[in-house]
């Protein structure tokens, strides 16, 4: 099946690392590139896809590693949750079971595989991530590293 660029644009999954760079290193080269991608979605110039796992990972990293004020984390997560340009996917217990079975074959990390299985269930196969090495090991995943 041939996809046009609009369909591709609407089916780009954003990995947690983009959000982390955008919110924790806003003045670095990676932070600026991540911000540009996220702002394009927030302002409606593009569409983006993420999962409840990405929001959980982002919250955990901001609160634990960077000791971000919980009120600020709430604002960040809420702004993503309510913005209509973000398609939000949720995984289920069935997704977790598929993930465990997939790991038997791919030998990939659990949380990366859980993202991949969530994407697969929703017919998304493109992920924007710095972590291309792990996702490329998962069959059917197309990775785009915005920092290269």
CATH assignment of the domain containing 31: 3.40.50.1010
Q: Measure the N-to-C terminal CA separation of the chain; round to a whole number of Å.
A: 28
Return the bridge partners of 12, or none: 126
How would you write the pLDDT of the chain (148 residues) with one tens digit per residue?
Answer: 333 344 446 789 999 999 999 999 999 999 999 999 999 999 999 999 999 999 999 999 999 999 999 999 999 999 999 999 999 999 999 999 999 999 998 889 999 999 999 999 999 999 999 999 888 888 888 999 999 9
Which residues does 57 contact at the CB level (< 8 Å), separation at least 6? 16, 111
Structural domain that includes position 87: 5-144
Residue 121 burial by Cβ neighbours in a 10 Å radius (0-12, 13-18, 19+): middle
- How many domains, the chain? 1
């Amino acid at each position: 099946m041939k996809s046009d660029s609009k369909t591709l644009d609407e089916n780009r999954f954003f990995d947690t690392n983009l959000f982390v760079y955008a919110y924790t290193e806003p003045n670095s080269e990676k932070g600026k590139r991540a911000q540009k991608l996220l702002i394009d979605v927030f302002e409606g110039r593009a569409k983006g896809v993420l999962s409840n796992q990405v929001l959980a990972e982002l919250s955990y990293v901001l609160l634990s590693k960077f000791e971000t004020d919980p009120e600020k984390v709430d604002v960040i997560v809420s702004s993503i949750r309510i913005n209509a340009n973000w398609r939000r996917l949720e995984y289920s217990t069935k997704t977790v079971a598929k993930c465990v079975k997939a790991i038997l074959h791919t030998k990939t990390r659990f949380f990366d595989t859980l993202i991949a299985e969530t994407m697969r269930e929703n017919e998304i196969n493109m992920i924007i991530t710095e972590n291309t090495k792990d996702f490329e090991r998962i069959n059917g995943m197309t990775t785009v590293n915005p920092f290269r």
